[in-house]
Amino acid sequence: MNQLRDKSVLIIDDDLAMLRALKKVLGGEGWTVICAASLADAIGILGDQKSRIDLVVTDLLMPNIPGITGLHGIHHLFPALPVIVLTACSESDVRDECLSRGASAFLVKPLDAPHLLSVVRTVCLGLAP
């Protein structure tokens, strides 16, 4: 039984190919997937549907947004909402800062679908990876 089947995820990334790829992977697991190409769009979606969103998966670096600001904004407005950060930056200080500012997990691109799904299960269901 797939315990994630009735969950919804908001994916935030300015890279449309990445949005499509993540939507395919998570949608294939039965998630309801909502996509946003900017932080402003994402905040609007969360404000309108926060009771429906179970998880946010976001790129760390977005146009016009300093790295951690987007994560901090989401965590400040919706502190109980788990956020998985995706980034091409593998520096440990960036990872540590994201985790200290509320990220539930930190993933480095490129990533593969099984690893992403494992982390999503861990974050959403409290399962061991």
Please tell me the total count of domains within the chain.
Answer: 1
Compute the distance between CA of residue 25 and CA of residue 30 in angstroms, rounded to an integer. 9
- The bridge status of strand 55-59 relative to strand 8-12 is parallel
* Residue 104 backbone phi and psi in degrees, to 5: -80, -25
Residue 128 lies in a domain: no
Measure CA 6 to chain center: 17
- We report the CATH number of the domain holding residue 80 as 3.40.50.2300
Instruction: Verify cis geometry, omega within 30 degrees of 0, for the bond prior to 66.
Output: no
Residue 40 lies in a domain: yes
Q: How does pLDDT run across 43-70, given as a tens digit for each residue?
A: 888 888 655 889 999 998 887 776 678 8
Residue 1 lies in a domain: no
Q: Which domain holds residue 58?
A: 8-112
What is the pLDDT, as a whole number, of residue 128?
45
Q: How does pLDDT run across 2-53, given as a tens digit for each residue?
A: 566 678 899 999 999 999 999 999 999 888 999 999 888 888 888 886 558 8
Q: Confirm if 61 and 84 have CB atoms less than 8 A apart.
A: no
